[in-house]
Structure 1
Amino acid sequence: MPKYLISFERGAMDHIPEEDFPEVGKAAHAVIQEAKDSGVFVFSGGLKYDDGDAEPAVVTVDGVVTDVPSPESKELIGGFAIVDVPSREAALAWAAKIAVACRCAQDVRKFMHDPADD
């Protein structure tokens, strides 16, 4: 089955009041548990940006480590889930559940097929 990346941009949840985060976290964990129980879950996580060892970096093709866009950039991923589902429609359905739980829009992208995985 194809795998899909469901993700949201860093800052996409900034509109949520701090006191609502426990409820949002509980809802997000419930959706992920549902994905696990359904057998479509591959991996998920939120990305950390607020300490020294979590600073994002880009390593160029010649091995040089460079800075990424500023932390305020919308180009950085805030969180993601990977699901293994039979169709785009199924991926969109999971993205809708995650969007409701996380209270932010989700980007859905299909991974390319790798024949080595067959």
Structure 2
Amino acid sequence: MTKYLISFPSAAMQVSQAELPAVGNAARAVVEQAKRDGVYAFAGGIHEGVDSVRVGADGTVSSELYPDSRVTGGFTALELLTLADAFEWASRMASACPCDQELRGFMYDQTN
């Protein structure tokens, strides 16, 4: 099985404040279904009120991030049998959020 990251940048989801509770409920319903189906790994959102930092090997902390590396929005990681399954779950999340989702596969981790 492969773990897949399903995500979106926060700017992609164009909904009003009034719509946010329903969108949140719909997204949580998809996550709850993934848990029931036994494919859930983890999910969440990037806390945009906390500044991102870059940490060097020597422990140096800098507010200067890599170019184009700003990560925002929400994400779900699922462990799935096939890429087709990943497309299906990404589609479910796109419907719930409502915005297109980006899909990425994690490389195999031999320690798990």
Judge same fold: TM > 0.5, yes or no. Answer: yes
* Counterpart secondary structure, 1:96: helix
Q: Which amino acid aligns with 1:12?
A: A
Distance 1:7 1:62, change over 3 A: same
Please, which runs of 5 or more residues in structure 1 have no aligned partner? none
Distance 1:49 1:68, change over 3 A: farther
Report the alpha carbon displacement of residue 12 of structure 1 after superposing the two structures with TM: 1.8
Report the alpha carbon displacement of residue 3 of structure 1 after superposing the two structures with TM: 0.4
Q: Structure 1 residue aligned with 2:100, among 92, 102, 105?
A: 105
* Counterpart secondary structure, 2:95: helix
The TM-score with structure 2 as length reference comes to 0.89
Deviation string, structure 1 residues 35-77 (Cα, Å, up to 9, x no partner): 0011000100011112xxx2211112332212255xxx78313
* Counterpart secondary structure, 1:23: helix
CA contact (8 A) 1:6 1:81 kept: yes
* Counterpart secondary structure, 1:55: coil
Comparing both structures, which one devotes a greater share of its residues to helix?
A: 1
Structure 1 consecutive aligned stretches of length 4 or more whose deviation exceeds 2 Å: 60-63
Please identify, of 57-66 and 17-26, the stretch whose mean Cα deviation from structure 2 is larger.
57-66
The TM-score with structure 1 as length reference comes to 0.85
- In the TM superposition, 1:1-118 aligns within 5 A as 1-13=1-13, 15-50=14-49, 54-68=50-64, 75-117=70-112
Q: Which amino acid aligns with 1:64?
A: T
* Counterpart secondary structure, 2:90: helix
Report the alpha carbon displacement of residue 21 of structure 1 after superposing the two structures with TM: 0.5
In 1, the alpha carbon distance for the partners of 2:100 and 2:110 equals 32
Deviation string, structure 1 residues 1-58 (Cα, Å, up to 9, x no partner): 1101111113222x211100111011001000010011000100011112xxx22111
CA contact (8 A) 2:46 2:71 kept: no
